[in-house]
Amino acid sequence: TLNGQIFQWGLVMIYDAGEVFGIMQFQEEDEERVNGGNKEKKDHPFQVIRCKVVVTRESGLQVSEPNSIFLVDHAWTYRVDHARQQLEQIPGLLPRMAALMGVDFHGEVPDSDTVEVVIEHMWKYNLTYQLSQGSAEEKVPVWYIMDEFGAQVQHSDQPSCGMAPFFYIQGQLAYTVLWPLQDLQRGDEVTRDYAYGETNTLVRKCRLLPWIPADLEVNSATNEPLDSYYEAIAHGNKEQLPVEIQPYTVPKDKMLKVYSEMSQVANNLTHPRFQLTEDEDEADIIWSYNHIKDYRKLSKERPQVMVNQFPCESIVTVKDCLAAVARRVKGGPSPDWLPETFNLQTELPQFIRHYQLRQQRGEDNHWICKPWNLARGLDTHITNNLDYIIRQRESTPKVVCKYIEDPVLFHREEVGMVKFDIRYMLMLRSVQPLRLYAYNVFWLRFANRPFSLDHFDDYQKHFTVMNYAEGVELKQVHYDEFIPMFEKQYPKCPWKEVEVTAWPWPAHWEQTISHSCVLVKLKQTKIT
């Protein structure tokens, strides 16, 4: 830990924090402590001795002093999917983290039990930041644990100091900045607010649960979001809604000009009724890769043009909105096809209460946390650790869904029983009247390792999207080969019955499974 001053030309570092602060050990008086709703006795791997940071300098620490700003080093910076591997392979990391967390560990060789304990309890110590530039992978939140000094700064609702991550661009290094919020005398404790910025009393209590046990007197039922919630989303998307237009019927003999930036369209659209054009203004159909924003202009100037998107489609393509809309349609709880889902930004208390009730009933409590608007398993976490889930709220906005602990599995001869999923391609032709087209040639995706309820950071065990990572096997089976294989493994489940169950079309829906649909040519593209 060091003290420094920031200048235009760089950072001057003076290693003098040891002259100002000290770490004091103290002993807890409670016979037991509570963690996640379960009482833990003192023989748990965590030690009884605790630490806190105090001011040791005779003159204390003054807010007005220009040098009263300190940089705290980070002992471990990682992304969650790499944590286990780093603890097992980086020399000295596991012993250091075990000592920092008070885990009883003797020796230098990592053992799986200690790794599990550190992974379980690191959520009481870590913090997070996110890069604003780069690829989607590079923007995935980074988690870090401060050094032995910073990690011992305890919580207070009236903190004596502030702490925040600081990225030093010239050195490409991240630190945590510490500064006093009030004048401190010798012996005063250095504290920070673990739920900094949270003003809602109930949510604050929830966010502090990893450290401060509390009973939540709330109902686990979720309510329909207010209209203002959706209005804020529409405002954030900056979409200009269309004016009302009259339905348009395309003449059967009309040649349709198609404009698209997508190579899949240009390379595969061969039907004689369609003609590709590079002039977007003359197109009858715009099949755009990027989000269309100005529907108002299109509806006024070109009301007959057809586009591959709908205004406000994020209401069903973004996870938090999809869950809310699904509950609205059901008229209460989630429909049967959607696992129990909570928005961690707006429904954290309801989720925690639901989690605690399941715990009391002895029900499975594995959950999957997903970013609202990312795909490919990026920044997606599976766990039954309540602390882990609560802390996810501090990174990107997420929903938490009940993880399916007993999925239908598929036997891969060379691997065993693995997870798999099926992607159907749909085309929404219109909303009023509702016309939805489905293509009965589906796309299969398989996990590469046998399924089990452990090692949830093992991507190839718990996820099925393998076509984005280098050096990872992509298992492909054509749909007409898969069906007899599935029926052989599950003889009581004929595929036709499975498909009918999966597509319970209401009588007033128009279901068309057509090999002449434009979507057929796009079956390998990523369409949500």
- Cβ atoms of 447 and 439 closer than 8 Å: no
- Does 59 share its domain with 189? yes
The H-or-E segment that residue 192 falls in is strand 189-192
What is the distance between the alpha carbons of residues 136 and 374, in angstroms, rounded to a whole number? 8
Chain segment 312-350, per-residue pLDDT in tens = 888 888 899 889 888 888 777 778 888 999 999 999 999
- Does 220 share its domain with 318? yes
What is the distance between the alpha carbons of residues 356 and 337, in angstroms, rounded to a whole number? 23
Nearest in space to 57 (alpha carbons), one of 44, 67, 49, 42: 67
- Does 476 share its domain with 521? yes
Give domain status of residue 131, yes or no: yes
pLDDT band at 12 (very low <50, low <70, confident <90, very high): low
What is the distance between the alpha carbons of residues 367 and 520, in angstroms, rounded to a whole number? 35
SS3 20: coil
Give domain status of residue 33, yes or no: no
pLDDT band at 31 (very low <50, low <70, confident <90, very high): very low
Q: What was the pLDDT predicted at 515?
A: 31
Domain's final residue, options 311, 341, 358: 311
Domain's final residue, options 193, 220, 255: 193
Read off the tokens for 135: 């690829």
Q: What was the pLDDT predicted at 505?
A: 52
Chain segment 36-69, per-residue pLDDT in tens = 444 444 444 544 568 899 999 999 999 999 889 9
Spell out where 203-347 has E strands. Answer: 256-260, 274-276, 285-287, 306-307, 341-343
Give domain status of residue 36, yes or no: no
Q: What was the pLDDT predicted at 29?
A: 57
Between 48 and 78, the more confident residue is 78
- Does 51 share its domain with 95? yes
Is the pLDDT at 213 greater than 80, yes or no? yes
- Does 390 share its domain with 426? no
SS3 289: coil
Chain segment 174-191, per-residue pLDDT in tens = 999 999 999 999 999 999
What's the mean pLDDT in 240-256? 88
SS3 388: helix
Q: What was the pLDDT predicted at 408?
A: 93
Give domain status of residue 38, yes or no: no
The domain total for the chain is 4
- Does 480 share its domain with 508? yes
The b/e string for 125-140 (b: 16+ C-beta within 10 A; e otherwise) is bbbebeeeeeeeeebb
- Does 251 share its domain with 233? no
What is the distance between the alpha carbons of residues 515 and 55, in angstroms, rounded to a whole number? 75
- Does 235 share its domain with 246? no
Give domain status of residue 5, yes or no: no
Q: What was the pLDDT predicted at 453?
A: 94
Is the pLDDT at 86 greater than 60, yes or no? yes
Is the pLDDT at 133 greater than 90, yes or no? no
Chain center to CA of 408: 24
Which residues partner with 52 through β-bridges?
Answer: 24
Q: What was the pLDDT predicted at 132?
A: 81
Which residues partner with 154 through β-bridges?
Answer: 191
Poorest-pLDDT segment among 123-132, 189-198, 514-523:
514-523
Give domain status of residue 99, yes or no: yes
What is the distance between the alpha carbons of residues 169 and 194, in angstroms, rounded to a whole number? 26
pLDDT band at 506 (very low <50, low <70, confident <90, very high): very low
Give domain status of residue 502, yes or no: yes
pLDDT band at 400 (very low <50, low <70, confident <90, very high): very high
Mean pLDDT of the chain: 85
- Does 252 share its domain with 114? no
Q: Which residues constitute the domain of residue 519?
A: 409-527
- Does 209 share its domain with 227? yes
DSSP string for residues in 76-136: EEE-HHHHHHHHHHSTTHHHHHHHHHTB---SSS--HHHHHHHHHHGGGT-EEE--SSS-T
Q: What was the pLDDT predicted at 499?
A: 80
User: The CATH number of the domain where 226 resides is what?
Assistant: 3.30.1490.20
pLDDT band at 15 (very low <50, low <70, confident <90, very high): low
Give domain status of residue 198, yes or no: no
Domain's final residue, options 364, 379, 405: 405
- Does 455 share its domain with 333? no
Q: Which of 95-99, 225-229, 231-235, 307-311 tops mean pLDDT?
A: 95-99
pLDDT band at 498 (very low <50, low <70, confident <90, very high): confident
Taking residue 180's Cβ as centre, other Cβ atoms within 10 Å add up to: 22
Read off the tokens for 195: 């739920």
Please write down the HEC assignment for all residues of 138-181: CCCCEEEEECCCHHHCEECCCCCEEEEEEEECCCCEEEEEEEEC
CA angle in degrees (0–180, nearest 5) for 216-221-222: 110
